[in-house]
Every structure is written in C-alpha cells, then in structure tokens.
Structure 1
Amino acid sequence: MSSRLLSLVVVLVASLSFAQSKLQVKVLTASPEGFLVNSTLVSGAKDAVLVDAAFTVADAHRLVAAVLDSHKNLTHIYVTHGHPDHYFGAEVLKAAFPKAKLVALPETVAEIQKTAKAKVAQWKPLYGNNLTDKPLVPEVLKAKSLTLEGETLELVGPVQGDSEHNTAVWIPSLKTVIAGDVVYSGVHPWTAETRAESRKAWAATLDALAARGPTAVVPGHQKAELTSDPAAMGFVKTYLVDFDAAVASSKTAEEVQTKVKAKYPDLALDVIVKIGAEAQFAPAK
C-alpha cells in the first residue's frame, strides 16, 4: 500500500469515527414511584431530542433539570407509545421548553386520545398532585424519522412489545436502540396487555431489533444502576417463555406470581408481575 493511499485510509477512518461519535446518549431513569421508566436525552453539539417524558410531576422536573444542565436546545420530545408513564410528564417539559415539539407516530397519538382520560382517572387518586390531570397529546409525525444535527433517528414501528403499538428509536451512527417498552432490564416486564400469541410477536420484535446489531440498547424500564446492555433483549425473551410456562401450568394468578417470583427473585417492580398474572385470568373483553 502506497503512503498516499495509507494516508487516505487513515483520514477516512478518522472521519467515520467522528461521524459515529457525533451524538451522545444519556439515560435518565425515573424513581420507583415512576415505575423506573427511562427517558433518553440524545444530544448533538447544540441541539437535543428527548425520548419519552416520564410519569410523575417530580420525575418530569428532574428531566427538566437534566436538559438544562446539558445546555442543549431541546427540539423534540418523542413519545414511544401510549402508556401514561411515557408521556404524562410532557406537561412539565413543555412548560419549561415551549419551543420543543411533542411528537409521536399516528398509532401512539390515537391511543393517547382514546385512553388519556381513563388513565388520569385510574392513577390520579393514587398520586394526587404528583400527576398531571391534563396530559398533553403529541402532534402526529408523518415521517418515520427525526433529524438531529444531520443525524438520523429512525423510528421503528409500530411493533409488538408490552402492548400492540410500541415503537423504538434506532440511531445508526451510534448503533444504539432506544427500545421503549420492547425491552426491560432488572425489572418485571409489563405483560398485562399481552397473551401467548402477542408474546410470540413480542419475541419476534426482539429478534428484529437484535438483527440490527446494536452495541447499546436502552430499555423502557430498568434498575437505575444497570447499563444499556444488549443482553437485556435476551433476558426479555427468556422471561416471556418462563411467564408463558407459569401461566400454562397454573390455575390461578397467585400461582403464576409465585412461580415467576421464584424464577426471578431479584427483579424490581413486583406489582407488575401481579397485575400481569391477574390479567391472564381475566375474562376476555
């Protein structure tokens, strides 16, 4: 190889490395009261995008502080799906950053419009002033991507995760998946809105995300001390198999809970497995 060609290769590799590291990702995990839900701040040199907006007023204020500390201009708040723990905090964020656009894909917006009032009625009595009573509805995104300082944030979905219309964010330059509630880490996955067939589809979603070869995967919920390890995708697949086995071999929700907790004694959010187990024995709607 000539010295000139070698120099050209070095320049190209250096340029590629710079392109891959232009954006930065910071994972912000909410309190246990906020179900340990993750919000993710994706930052460039000047601007930033926040993925998911937390649940409680207190956790949303902590997100505001994190954005302020970043000294970035928040351009968008993207909501991965219509569960309230991913968008109820948007009211606080929009008050702090009125120029930031609150956005989601059409299926997410439709679900929020359909369920927001009922979700307030369900959770407000438990949380009081720590929960909004007027959740904001995102604007509909027509494109399946966002652009941050020339970099593409690909919006993957809707896909089956813990509910039918989940989405994930794929950042090619970082080989990073912000997985929404397709992936969990260190906590019980939400299974209340799934049945055996939809859990198979959930596993297929995990396979599809894994096929992209991510080096980092941000779960929708996690223990705060954990990292964005792609192995969390395998954990969820195994958990779903074990959950199915527990349901198939049990006559009551209590039996399911006992078996799942025995298999996974160290996972956080026990209330999630309780609700999920009870849902498997509830009459079909």
Structure 2
Amino acid sequence: MTSSLQTKVFISSDQHNGFGVSSTIVYGPTEALLVDSQFSLSNAHRLVAEILELDRDLTQIFITHMHPDHYLGLEVVKAAFPGARVMAYKDAAAEVNDAFGFKIQHWRDTVLGRNGATTTVPVERIDETHLSVDGEPIEILGLMRGDSAYAAALWIPTIKTLVAADTVFSDAHVWVADARTPEERQDWFDTLDRLEALGATTIIPGHAPNTRPYDPDGIGFTRRYLKDFISELERCADAADLVARMDRRYPDLPVRICLEYSARILKDHYRWDGDWPESLRDRDAVI
C-alpha cells in the first residue's frame, strides 16, 4: 500500500541560541503531528509558519524527552494551535512537567532573555505504543538512552522513516554530559544498534546543520563521535585538552555548547546548575 504520509523538518540555525535542534512535522492529506517544539520563542514562531503553510490540522504535539531545547517553544505552538494534544511517552511526560518551570527560569536568566519561554504547557502522559496521522500508524519505540536517560524515537514503517530525536546527532557536536558512566554510554551504543536494525532509509536526527540530508549516516556519525569522545576523555589532561582534541577530529561542527559542557562536566567534574533533576548535579562522572 502506498503511504500518504510525508515529513517536513525544521532545523533551527545554530545562531541566536538555536542549538541546531530539529522539529519534525509528519503529515497526511488532512492531519499533522509535530515532534518537538524548538527552544527559543523566535524559532518556535518560524516553526509555526512552516506548519501553517502546510494547511493541515495539527492534532498532536509529541515531546520526545526532557531536554528544554525540544519543548520550551510549546507556548508559541500551543497558542497557534490550541486544539492540539500535547503529550510525551510514559515517564518522559513527568520528566518534562517536573523540569518545565525550572528550565524556563534557568534559560531565560542565562541565555535566552526575552527570547525565552515564560509559560509552562502541561504535557499529557500516554502509554500507547502507537500514534497515527490520517489513520496511518506511527510506532513509539519506547524510552531509550540517548543524550538523556529517556528519549522516545518514532518509527514510521510505511515510509521507512525514523524520527530519532536525541538518540542520533548528525554532523553536530553531541551532548554526552548526561551519560555519566561507562554503562550509560554502552546503553547508548545499544540504542544505536537497535535503531540501525530498523533499516530506515530516512533518519531525522535531534541535532544537525540545516543543510544536512536525512540519510542513515547519522547513526554511524553518532557512534563514531561517542567512541572518539570516550577515547579522548580517557587520555586528555583536562576539559580544555579534551575540547582541543575533539576539535581536531571534528572541526567546525555546530552546537559547540554540547562539546564544551560535556567536557567540563565529565572531565573537570563541573557542577552545572542547569542540570535537572537536581540529583544529576551531584552525580560524579565515571570515566
């Protein structure tokens, strides 16, 4: 059967604190589903424009995980589409709701200022393993380790498309900071193996340059980056040395904040006051 589903991807610029984060619109003849809602208010408005131009009924907004660059734009998107259901899978919903107010305050104070969210938007917990757009199935692959402990990637089998969220990065620095132990980093490798086995022809990463094609190479890139980061983490003298080593391996990549903070947190044992939950701030890294 020929699928009627298509995807449209909005990736924010790495400029103006956009962080190169992706939002994916999955749409059919009449309906649309949005996956993640951007970080800044300005990029959320740009995303809304992309949705409006499709002229579909946005019925669902799915948040993949609790990192704020994927949901602080909700107030803009929800205002534009008040009838859309906002949801996340299982425990990811509670994580987003618990973190929301703190993340608004932290990022307005430190980075975004007036371009930052001011209002929380309730995120509904769902336990179903499938979503649908115009009656066609979209599979929730469960909560798995990526750059956070719990992320929910989506698989669209009829068009062999994986919306990978932050389990996969492509030609961008990777946020490794939350994977504090060798076991957690191995869990991420296991996630990549599982996703690769799907045989997707299109993979939409959580972060990438907005010129990057959405091909399966993102899984291989993420795997290589993690292996190289771990190798240099074990050999470097300090965070500055780690950053320099990774810059030599991966020059001029966007989303540099991921490299710099990951290096400081994992090598220099930096206690970052933006971490959530608060208990994560006191979890020392194990190399």
Is this a same-fold pair by TM over 0.5? yes
Match among 127, 131, 142 for residue 116 of structure 2: 131
Q: CA deviation at 1:197?
A: 2.1
Q: Does 1:170 align with 2:152?
A: no
What does 1:97-246 correspond to in 2, within 5 Å?
97-125=81-109, 126-195=111-180, 196-246=182-232
CA contact (8 A) 2:100 2:120 kept: yes
For 1:81, the equivalent position in structure 2 comes to 65
Letter in 2 for 1:37: V
Structure 1 distance, partners of 2:96, 2:145, is: 17
For 1:23, the equivalent position in structure 2 comes to 5
Structure 2 distance, partners of 1:30, 1:121, is: 22
Letter in 2 for 1:27: V
Task: Give per-residue Cα distances to partners, 1:86-129, cap 9 Å, x unaligned.
Answer: 11111111111011111111211111222222212221022112
For 2:246, the equivalent position in structure 1 comes to 260
Alignment root-mean-square deviation, CA: 1.2
Letter in 2 for 1:49: L
Give unpaired runs (5+ residues) of structure 1: 1-15
For this pair of structures, how many residues does the alignment match?
267
Larger Rg: 1
Task: Give per-residue Cα distances to partners, 1:181-238, cap 9 Å, x unaligned.
Answer: 0011111011111133211111110110110110000000110001101011001001
Letter in 2 for 1:194: A
Letter in 2 for 1:63: L
Letter in 1 for 2:186: K
Structure 1 length-normalised TM: 0.91
Letter in 2 for 1:237: R
Task: Give per-residue Cα distances to partners, 1:166-193, cap 9 Å, x unaligned.
Answer: 1100000010000000011111011111
Secondary structure at the counterpart of residue 166 of structure 2: helix
Q: CA deviation at 1:142?
A: 2.2
Give unpaired runs (5+ residues) of structure 2: 271-281
For 1:7, the equivalent position in structure 2 comes to none
For 2:20, the equivalent position in structure 1 comes to 36
Which structure shows the higher helix fraction?
A: 1
Secondary structure at the counterpart of residue 180 of structure 1: strand
Letter in 2 for 1:226: R
Secondary structure at the counterpart of residue 203 of structure 2: strand
Letter in 1 for 2:115: N
Structure 1 distance, partners of 2:260, 2:196, is: 29
Q: Does 1:48 align with 2:32?
A: yes
Structure 2 distance, partners of 1:73, 1:116, is: 26
Identity of aligned residues (%): 37
Structure 2 distance, partners of 1:95, 1:246, is: 45
CA contact (8 A) 2:13 2:209 kept: no
